[in-house]
Amino acid sequence: MQDIILLTGAGKGIGKAIALDFSRKAQKNPSFNPVLILSSRTYSDIVALAEECEALGAKAVPIEADIASLDDIDCLVGQTLQEFGTIDCLVNNAGVGRFKDIGDMTEEDFDYTMSVNMKGTFFLTQKVFPVMEQKRSGHIFFITSIAAEIAFKSSSVYSMSKFGQKGLVEALRLYGRECNVKITNVMPGAVYTPMWGEAANELKEVMMMPEDIAGPVVDAYLQPPRTSVEEIVLRPVGGDINS
């Protein structure tokens, strides 16, 4: 049997690492057959990643979508359902951050962050959840952040969006428990990815790597049907990077 796994923000960073980890675990476990629907705005990223996943033996389909657009969300879910008939796992990973002092945040910074992290994540989840609810199985991951629990001065708007995602996770879990759908909140601290821009180079030594997040996510998906890993908190061993 195939597992249809829809992954947003798959082109880079943590999303890419999750896609590769699913592929590697499938290679080791012949009874696990993931079909990875790889989505992001940059088509060349997800085409290249699909080739890497297929080289590891997984089936992978790139679909370009901007989750800030409800039309793109409709197309992404519609195309997946048309081709594969169902969705077993949604990984809400796509996210953006603009990091600066609170007084420097513009309306555009605010709208951009909220349109992806809050609006996009909400409406994609709203579209996918009924598919799982109806068949009484499925698993939805939210890659929120440690910034969903602790605010940092440079991340006021980002933190608002991540606290908001946590609200969605907790509300959705109440629905999920009634229909056997697992909901997992993944809260990483600092991870070395393109999201950090040039700051990543200075901080690399004290950060986690994307694969450190991917492993626990995929392992949580592979738990027995009776068990739901509800939260995963991962931090650099030296604690949070407060910059």
Report the interface residues with ligand NAP, using CB under 6 A.
8-9, 11-15, 40-42, 45, 65-68, 93-97, 116, 120, 143, 145, 188, 190-191, 193-195
**Cβ 70 to ligand NAP, closest distance in Å?**
12
Smaller CB separation from ligand NAP, 12 or 166: 12
**Cβ 193 to ligand NAP, closest distance in Å?**
3
**Cβ 29 to ligand NAP, closest distance in Å?**
25
Cα Dmax for the chain: 54
Find, among 66, 33, 36, the residue nearest to 49 by Cα.
36
**Cβ 107 to ligand NAP, closest distance in Å?**
18
**Cβ 7 to ligand NAP, closest distance in Å?**
10
Phi, psi of 184, rounded to the nearest 5 degrees: -120, 125
Smaller CB separation from ligand NAP, 19 or 131: 19
Smaller CB separation from ligand NAP, 132 or 143: 143
In this structure, the number of other CB atoms found within 10 A of the CB of residue 150 comes to 15
Cα separation, 26 vs 221, whole angstroms = 12
Find the helix or strand (DSSP H, E) in which 2 lies.
Answer: strand 2-8
Smaller CB separation from ligand NAP, 129 or 185: 185
150, two tokens:
């602790």
Smaller CB separation from ligand NAP, 128 or 190: 190
Find the helix or strand (DSSP H, E) in which 70 lies.
Answer: helix 70-84
Cα separation, 206 vs 202, whole angstroms = 9
Check if the beta carbon of residue 193 is closer than 8 Å to that of residue 200.
yes
